[in-house]
Each structure stands twice: as C-alpha cells, then as structure tokens.
Chain A
C-alpha cells in the first residue's frame, strides 16, 4: 500500500541514508534497496532495478532514482520530499565546507586537502565510466562504441552529443 501514510517513513528513511552516502548517492544503493524493497515493500526488486536503470539512462544526476522512488510511493509530493530528504542535509554540509574553503583559501592544510583528493576524484570518474561500459557491453558493438567514444572525447573538443547520437543510431540499427 502506498500513499500519504508512507510519506514520513520515506522522508526519515532517506534522511538516514543520505548521511551514510560518503562517495556519492550511488554508494548507498544497497541501503536504498533495503529501505524500499525489503523493509517497506513499496515495490519489488524488478521495479527498483528498472527505476535505477532509468535514472542511469536519462541525463542528469543518477540520484534522481530517489525522486522516482518518491514518485512511486506518494506522487509528486513524494518525489520532492524524498529528494529533499536525500539532498538537503548533505547540501548544507557541502555549502558549509565551500564557505570554509573560501575563508581559509590558500591555507596550507586546505591546499593539501584539495590536492590530495584530486587523484581519487579522477580515478572514481574513470571507474564509473568502466562500470557503465561493462553494463552496456552486450556483444562487441557496444564495446567498440565505448572505445570510439573514449578516443573522440579524449582527442577532440567537439561536443560529446555527437557520439551519443552515433551510439543511438548504431544501437537502433544493429542491437536488436
């Protein structure tokens, strides 16, 4: 059963999860699954997986999966409340840190922190690309598209929308 009664557990559930989400919203996907599928039975595992796939396939932050879950549980108000619960407190923290960073700009310990996180940031981007590629790798063609797109984006300054369009066309022609 879904509706207004579920709004409160939805909000408190995502509030709790958001504080664990060090490393990004998708780091807590297993906790979301536990909340949505196992604890409250708001949807089954397949419906959960489909919403996650949609949030991945659509443009925008992958954390939109939380909005989709909220929508399913309590409509538009559910979408907005779940997103606010997931993003509100951590946004305040990010803002507080950004303010601190401006205030102490140039301080040695802050320089160390900023520089020290850069390699991790890039390593995580590369890994998210690889995981996305392996999820799409149904046969040799998607692998070739990923490899070609990597080269295109690395070596040129043209808009990556070109490779997305080519990927869509090749997919439509050869992948079904």
Chain B
C-alpha cells in the first residue's frame, strides 16, 4: 500500500467507479484501486474480491465494504457503499422510463450491443491480466479454470462455491506450508 486514501478520496473514487462501470463493477474497481491509484496490490484486491464473492449479497457492494473497512473502518465502509450507489441510482431513476420507451429502437439497441460487447471484453481482459500478474500455482490455476467453466455453464452459484471453496482452502493451506 503506497498511501492511505482519505474518506473523501474513497467516496469520489467509488462515485467514479459507479458511473463508469459498464459490464459490472469488479473489473473497474480493480482498475481504479490497483492500476490507477496503487492503493491496493493485485493480491490484496483479489483477496477482498474473493471474500466479497463468497459472502451472500451483491459482490460489488461486499467488496466496497471490505475495501472501505480496510482503510477506515465503519465510516470507510459507509462512504464506499454510498459512493458506489449514488451515481447509478440517480442515473437509473432518470433513464428507467426513457428505456421503456426508447430501449428497443434499432439504433439504441445497436449502440447498447456495441457497448456490451466492449464491456464484456473489458471484463475478460481484466481476468487475464489478474492471472498473468498473480502467477498462481498450477493447482490454484486449475481451481480458477474450474470456477470459470462451471459458471460459464450456468451452474448455480451456491453449488459452484460449495464445490470449489473447499478445494481452494486445501490448496491455499498446502501452499502456505511451503
């Protein structure tokens, strides 16, 4: 950790993440905290995210609370959560009615499809980047690939976690011994 961000910086950071995060928040939060600001290392972010995903609840929010608590305890968690939701809440309240009217217009649909395709690449590129930077052992890599395959086959999430979390724990246990 190169420096400790202030609460204001965390709030503004999550406000920005909330308003730009096409395709899901996690890839954008990683870009902000790890790449742009250097407030978290690749490993630290991956750990907070992993915890956010196994706990019940929206994982982007769980991760925001984890990051906020890490830096500033309860108030940190609150500013991160508020920052994350403020922008999208206002935006969605404004566009929800427009979308019902105009969302199916061919031009609007075409633009949204182009953005969705690019955002999908953003998310996949982030996953590849995390793997290349973290250089996991072969065992951990296999567990990651299994998680990817099961989720891509649309196996229900609780089952994926029930199957793979124990394997992840065993692998991490053995690697800490070395």
Contact = CB atoms under 8 A, between A and B. Distances in A.
Contacts, number: 395
Contacts of B107: 172, 176
B160 A126 contact: no
B9 interface: no
Contacts of A60: 18-19, 21, 25, 84-85, 87-89, 91-92
B30 to A, nearest CB: 9
Nearest to A66: B58
Q: Is the interface of B mostly helix, strand, loop or mixed?
A: helix
Given A123-B146, A126-B124, A168-B114, A50 B103 contact: yes
A59 B22 contact: yes
Residue of B27, B81, B121 with highest tally of chain A CB at under 10 A: B121
Interface in A144-173: 145-154, 157, 160-161, 163-164, 166-172
Contacts of A132: 23-24, 116, 119-120, 123
Contacts of B73: 99
Interface string B95-122: 1100110010011011111111111111
Given A60-B21, A115-B172, A125 B123 contact: yes
B177 to A, nearest CB: 10
B151 A124 contact: yes
Contacts of B20: 59, 161
A107 to B, nearest CB: 11
Contacts of B117: 133, 136-137, 141-143, 145-146, 149, 167, 171
A95 B124 CA distance: 28
Interface residues of A, number: 98
Contacts of A104: none
If over half of A's interface residues share one DSSP class (helix, strand or loop), that class is named, otherwise mixed; here it is helix
A58 B95 contact: yes
Interface string B62-92: 1001101110011001000100110111011
Interface string B23-54: 11111100100010000000100110111111
Interface of B: 18-28, 31, 35, 43, 46-47, 49-62, 65-66, 68-70, 73-74, 77, 81, 84-85, 87-89, 91-93, 95-96, 99-100, 103, 106-107, 109-132, 134, 136, 140-141, 143-152, 154, 156-158, 160-161, 164-165, 168-173, 175-176
17 contacts: A18-B56, A20-B158, A21-B56, A64-B88, A93-B57, A94-B61, A119-B136, A120-B161, A125-B49, A129-B123, A133-B124, A138-B113, A164-B119, A167-B119, A172-B111, A175-B111, A176-B110
